[in-house]
Amino acid sequence: MTAPRRQSGVGMLELLAALAVGAVLLLGLTGMSDNSLDELRGQQAAYYQAQVVHAAERYMQAHHDEIKAATPTAAAVLAVSLEQLRAGHFLPAGFTDLNAYQQGTCVLVRQPDATAAPGKFDALVVTSGGKPIGDKDLAAVALHAGTGSGFISVREPAFARGASWRMDTTPYRGIACAGGAAPVLQGTAADAGHLASNLFYDGAGQLAADFLYRGAVPGKPELNRMNTAMRFGGAALVATGDSCLNANGVAEPGLAMDAGTRTLLSCDTTGHWNLASSWKAPVEAWGDLPLAGSVRGDVRMVMNLSRAFTFDGAVWAPLALDKDGNLDAPGEVKARNVRALQAIESEGTIHAVADIASERDLRAGRDLDVQRDANVVRSVLARRIEASSWMAAPSINLTSVKAAAGACHYWEWSDLEGRSVLKFPAGTVVMDADMRPLICGQDHTFRYANGNYTPN
């Protein structure tokens, strides 16, 4: 009877021992879990701080002259908020206002000696409010917070310190960040448990690394200059005529390369990638004008002709004179003066509103039609002269010789005019062999002035 009771007492002791061991293990696991969560929170806070520090560096580069003007004395402190960094695209639009400890962050910038060292700034990227970081975690979090990282501890709340620096926070105290009511730093225990990163900005040349800067850097024009050929790839290779609108549908100015022709394109006001210039590299001779790779509107100079040609989509056409020196104008050609060293030929009409003057001969293959007077200084030579009204002259020299009773006023074929013409019409005056005048009468025969076939 007594043996079973002793065995049940032993079993109870074993159960209690097991429960005690389990409780100890549970406490240990809980502590480990809490430590792991604290480490993750610290890592997130450190990464957050590093992002703000990087953004602050770029902000000071971009706004160097503005910061210099806003901090004319050592006592002047400029506060830059996260909202300003987001507005300037130095931080993403969705970057939160609080870190993992619910602390806010502000950038405080001052110019310690504007006279002896103008443009050299001291800046603190410091957190405030939220849950203070415990001393056992504070140094570890700051260690991973990037350039110039440090902290403010409970033991020295009036100082910020990092691995290689220690700074009195007095010059930065009493300044509220934009949108905040309380000062960021007060020099009291409220400052403890917060991160503080120190940026020693020595002017425009501090970060003169081998990079091309998008914005102007005062005093450092070389930071905006390329020293090697620029290669295009990826989205910078496009096709002429493609849309160049950005994500907001705006045609921002930009450059790209045509993937096929390798010509430089610009984003024009219509929102398309188009040629920045239609003029292409010159060629030596007409036969060197390329068809492959040419697009409609291209223009090239042919050096040995000193003439320009444009590509119409199929062939190269002259802008003015063609390769043979001819001017082919489908419309009108207008000029103040036209001087031809040889001939001016027209397959149609030559019309002048004013005079047509010639220092030598004026020849017409067919008729010469004069609406008003024809003034001839010397002779008028013609096979026939007809006057619909009257003719006046001091003298007339008649060279046609006919005989009395000879035929007149008859039709005869003219090879010159290609038709039949009326020969010696009635009223025509000619001379006989003795230089006496004969007149073609109504009977279509020549008679003397007395109306007979004999002069007397």
8 A C-beta contact, residue 265 and residue 258 = yes
Is residue 65 one of the residues assigned to a domain? yes
| Cβ atoms < 10 Å from Cβ of 303 | 12
Residue 26: what are its φ and ψ, rounded to 5°? -65, -40
Query: Cα separation of 196 and 99, whole Å?
Result: 13
How many whole angstroms from its chain centre is CA 277?
9
Query: Cα separation of 64 and 372, whole Å?
Result: 85
Helix (H, G, I), strand (E, B) or coil at 137: helix
Quote the mean pLDDT of the chain. 85
Q: Which of 100, 102, 95 is nearest to 43 (CA)?
A: 100
DSSP conformation letters of 155-172: S-TTEEEESS-EEE-GGG
pLDDT of residue 393: 75
8 A C-beta contact, residue 432 and residue 402 = yes
pLDDT of residue 34: 52
Helix (H, G, I), strand (E, B) or coil at 336: coil
Structural element, H or E, at residue 274: strand 273-275
Query: Cα separation of 92 and 82, whole Å?
Result: 10
DSSP letter (8 states) at residue 31: H
* pLDDT tops 70 at residue 72: yes
Is residue 345 one of the residues assigned to a domain? no
Query: Cα separation of 244 and 254, whole Å?
Result: 8
445 and 298 belong to one structural domain: no
182 and 244 belong to one structural domain: no
Is residue 219 one of the residues assigned to a domain? no
Q: How many CA atoms lie within 13 A of 376 on its CB side?
A: 10
Per-residue pLDDT band at 129 (split at 50, 70, 90):
very high
292 and 271 belong to one structural domain: no
303: which 2 tokens? 């050096």
Is residue 340 one of the residues assigned to a domain? no
283 and 259 belong to one structural domain: no
Give me the residue label for tokens 């696991």: 29
**Last residue in a domain, options 201, 228, 259:** 201
Is residue 111 one of the residues assigned to a domain? yes
Is residue 452 one of the residues assigned to a domain? yes
| Cβ atoms < 10 Å from Cβ of 6 | 8
What is the residue type of 289? L
151 and 251 belong to one structural domain: no
Structural element, H or E, at residue 121: strand 121-128
| pTM score, whole prediction | 0.45
pLDDT tens, residue by residue, 369-414? 777 777 777 777 776 777 777 777 777 778 889 999 999 999 999 9
* pLDDT tops 50 at residue 428: yes
Write out the E strands in 150-235.
Answer: 150-152, 159-162, 166-168, 194-201
* pLDDT tops 70 at residue 6: no
Q: Which residues contact 92 (CB under 8 A, 6 or more apart)?
A: 86
Give me the residue label for tokens 């806070």: 45
* pLDDT tops 90 at residue 191: yes
175 and 55 belong to one structural domain: yes
289 and 171 belong to one structural domain: no
Query: Cα separation of 260 and 277, whole Å?
Result: 17
Number of domains forming the structure of the chain: 4
* pLDDT tops 70 at residue 93: yes
Helix (H, G, I), strand (E, B) or coil at 218: coil
Q: Which of 441, 440, 418 is nearest to 429 (CA)?
A: 440
48 and 188 belong to one structural domain: yes
171 and 283 belong to one structural domain: no
Is residue 361 one of the residues assigned to a domain? no
Compute the C-alpha angle 324/325/326, nearest 5°. Answer: 95
* pLDDT tops 80 at residue 434: yes
Sign of the C-alpha dihedral, residues 143, 145, 149, 153? Answer: negative
Per-residue pLDDT band at 205 (split at 50, 70, 90):
very low
How many whole angstroms from its chain centre is CA 385?
72
404 and 296 belong to one structural domain: no
Query: Cα separation of 418 and 160, whole Å?
Result: 118
430 and 408 belong to one structural domain: yes
Q: Which residues contact 197 (CB under 8 A, 6 or more apart)?
A: 49, 52, 53, 124, 125, 126, 145, 146, 147, 148, 149, 150, 162
How many whole angstroms from its chain centre is CA 328?
34
Average of per-residue pLDDT across 257-282: 87
**Last residue in a domain, options 182, 201, 220:** 201
**Last residue in a domain, options 156, 184, 201:** 201
pLDDT tens, residue by residue, 161-174? 998 899 999 999 99
> In terms of DSSP bridges, do strands 166-168 and 121-128 run parallel, antiparallel, or are they unpaired?
unpaired
Q: Which domain holds residue 453?
A: 387-456
Is residue 8 one of the residues assigned to a domain? no
Which of the pair, 203 or 53, is modelled with greater confidence? 53
61 and 197 belong to one structural domain: yes
8 A C-beta contact, residue 439 and residue 428 = yes
